[in-house]
Amino acid sequence: MLKACLNGGRGRDAHPAVPVTPAELAADAARCAALGVGAVHVHPRDHDGAESLRPTVIAEAVAAIRAARPGLRIGVSTGEWIEPDPAARVAAVRSWTVLPDFASVNAHEPGAEAVAVALRDRGVAVEVGLWTPDAVGAYRDWRVPVERILVECMAEKPAEALTDADAILDALDPDGPPRLLHAEGGAVWPVLVEAVRRGLDTRIGFEDTVHLPDGSPAADNAALVAAATALGAG
């Protein structure tokens, strides 16, 4: 499965085509879905452009994408940087009026399991984000089931990112949930190729990179998806 991660924490200063508004997210999601992605991951923004977990912000983004591409699975982030207070993150999830299909929860963040429980209670599938081998230990203590494990390589250098990928994957139960392997920045494309080699899910989009495999700027998310597909992803 290839997932399109459409914006993340990036804004127009990073690339003029980064989608920010619900309408822009919806249009980009539809273009990427037409190229074969199985899901999209988005970071909805409020009217000031800040990432938000507020129910109106989540609802507007999810509803717009569903209207543009019915049936496409939609995920959001619950990252600590969006709402630092764990109790407030839980309260936000419990207040959502329009639900995404899944949401990511980073295992290393304070209150992560409580956020995952709140998501499951609402019927939202959980993707657990593992950034380091140590995070695998935190995840092992969870009592809530997850739909997918995100093996997220944060090192900028490809060799370091691939080493981290090996360490995290080796620490996981081989009979556990499906894995999605990806990186950010300079390691994106080598790690995506490794995900394809291993037969794992992966993702691509402006959240992770604004460059094509040859280092040139990508015109938009669809160009990144097309490049990932050409490398065998999806």
Q: Residues 94, 95, 97, 102: is their CA dihedral positive or negative? A: negative
5-19: average pLDDT: 95
Q: What is the pLDDT at residue 2?
A: 98
Taken as a whole, the chain contains a residue count of 234
Reported confidence tier of residue 24, pLDDT bands at 50, 70, 90: very high
- How do residues 104-141 score in pLDDT, each as one tens digit? 999 999 999 999 999 999 999 999 999 998 999 999 98
Say whether 79 sits in a helix, a strand or coil.
coil
CB 180 within 8 A of CB 174: no
Q: At what angle do helices 158-171 and 188-198 cross, to 10 degrees?
A: 40
- How do residues 188-234 score in pLDDT, each as one tens digit? 999 999 999 999 999 999 999 999 999 999 999 999 999 999 999 98
Give the total number of structural domains in the chain.
1
Q: What CATH number has the domain bearing residue 90?
A: 3.20.20.70
Residues 6+ apart with CB under 8 A from 9: 43, 51, 81, 207
Q: What is the pLDDT at residue 152?
A: 97
Distance of CA 130 to the CA centre of its chain: 12
What is the C-alpha to C-alpha distance for residues 43 and 26, in angstroms, rounded to an integer? Answer: 12
Say whether 45 sits in a helix, a strand or coil.
strand
For tokens 């539809």, name the residue.
30
Task: Please name every residue paired with 130 in a beta bridge, in sequence order, or none if there are none.
Answer: 151
CB 44 within 8 A of CB 52: yes
19: number of Cβ within 10 Å: 24
User: What is the value of pTM for the model shown?
Assistant: 0.96
Mean pLDDT of the chain: 97
Domain extent for 121: 2-230
Q: What is the pLDDT at residue 146?
A: 97
Helices in 12-123 by DSSP H: which ranges? Answer: 22-34, 55-68, 86-95, 112-121
